[in-house]
Structure 1
Amino acid sequence: MNECVYLKVYQNGLRAAYRQQRFPWWLQLSGEVAGENVRCAKTIQQGRWEMRMMVRLLIVGMIWFWGGLLAAAPASAGEYVGSKSCSACHEEEYATFMKYSKKAHSWDKVEKMLPKLEPEEQQSCFGCHTTGYKKGGFVSYDKTPQFADVGCETCHGPGKEHVAGDGDPELITRTPTITTCSHCHNAQRVKDFNYKPLLHSGAH
């Protein structure tokens, strides 16, 4: 039976109140309950349908909200430790990298370009010319100068667990693949700048 759960009660042509009470569906046709003029505002079926829709919208809203937060939130800042931390165990590799690799001094070129670029354009540079931008690493030169160049962790991944694990090689990317390089050295950039991805361009 399709019953009415909300009745609009009218007095002298004006709505006076809602009556939250179940009434048989036929009262919608008669329009009278104990001499009062009423109209059915919501049936049980309508109420259930609205409840289901509200639950679905709530679930979708929660997924959207938390999904947005997770997508926007950077990785923990502690995941990146900076190239200098690598030098404690990899002294020779670090010295060679700093001396011969252009990546190790990428901020020099970025710094020269910044005055000519809009903020949005600057951010597009940071993604490939710094370490860990929007991933818990580079924020700005003033706040995180240790991540201002393309450091060891750009190719080998965040080093916190590796360092904390006494240099456990399973906790770091020992040998980067060409896929790692092509994130920045993609076809368009190779064409524009002729910077071809080289697995051993880090000079070690």
Structure 2
Amino acid sequence: GNGVCVGCHANAAAIWKNSRHAHAFATLENNGKHFDPECLECHVVGLKPWEAPADASESVLKFAGRTGFLSSQLTPHLKNVQCENCHGPARVHLGNSKIHPANKEPKSACVSCHQGSHSPMFNFETYWPKIKH
């Protein structure tokens, strides 16, 4: 989750905290989509739905996708759109701050989720200033 990023990137974290990204999982819950892998892929960190069967029990899920979101009960710290959704995995960066996560061009990071029927009203030029950091 973003907890490890906040220590060094407090300004970016403050922008995120006040954004809709910080509450993205609630959008799914409010619409009954919080079990839909197609929706979860963008609304949580590190979902790996291919690593566990759809009817997997909680005990099976404990061993599948160990580094990513499993459920809101087992991995609540990975709910919502967080740093790694846009900036990529940061494990190496944590060990050496001079090595940066695989930063994507901002627009390409955004449109990886904000596209088509998932976000028909998305306009990068309008929304980027609200989350830019």
> Smaller-chain TM-score range?
0.7 to 0.9
Q: Give how far 1:118 is off.
A: 9.1
Q: How far apart, in 2, do the equivalents of 1:162 and 1:118 lie?
A: 30
Q: 1:133 aligns with which of 47, 52, 56?
A: 47
| Equivalent position of 2:31 in the other structure | 113
- 5+ residue gaps, structure 2, are 49-64
Q: Which amino acid aligns with 2:83?
A: C
| Equivalent position of 1:144 in the other structure | 75
If the length of structure 2 is used for normalisation, what is the TM-score? 0.72
Listed one character per residue, the Cα deviations across residues 103-141 of structure 1 (whole Å, up to 9, x for unaligned) are: 011111112222xx595xx21110111122117321111
Q: Which has the higher contact order (CA 8 A, sep 6+)?
A: 2
Larger radius of gyration: 1
| Equivalent position of 1:196 in the other structure | 123
| Equivalent position of 1:96 in the other structure | 15
| Equivalent position of 1:87 in the other structure | 6
- 5+ residue gaps, structure 1, are 1-81
| Equivalent position of 1:181 in the other structure | 110
Q: How far apart, in 2, do the equivalents of 1:180 and 1:126 lie?
A: 16
Alignment of 1:145-184 (within 5 A): 145-165=76-96, 167-168=97-98, 170-174=99-103, 176-184=105-113
Which 4+ stretches in 1 moved above 4 angstroms? Answer: none
Q: How far apart, in 1, do the equivalents of 2:90 and 2:112 lie?
A: 19
Q: How far apart, in 2, do the equivalents of 1:149 and 1:189 lie?
A: 16
Q: How far apart, in 2, do the equivalents of 1:182 and 1:171 lie?
A: 21
Q: How many residues align?
A: 114
Q: Give how far 1:188 is off.
A: 3.4
Q: What is the root-mean-square deviation of aligned Cα atoms in Å?
A: 2.3
| Equivalent position of 2:61 in the other structure | none
Residue 118 and residue 147 in structure 1: after superposition, are their counterparts in 2 closer, same or farther (change >3 A)? closer
Q: Secondary structure at the match of 1:171?
A: coil
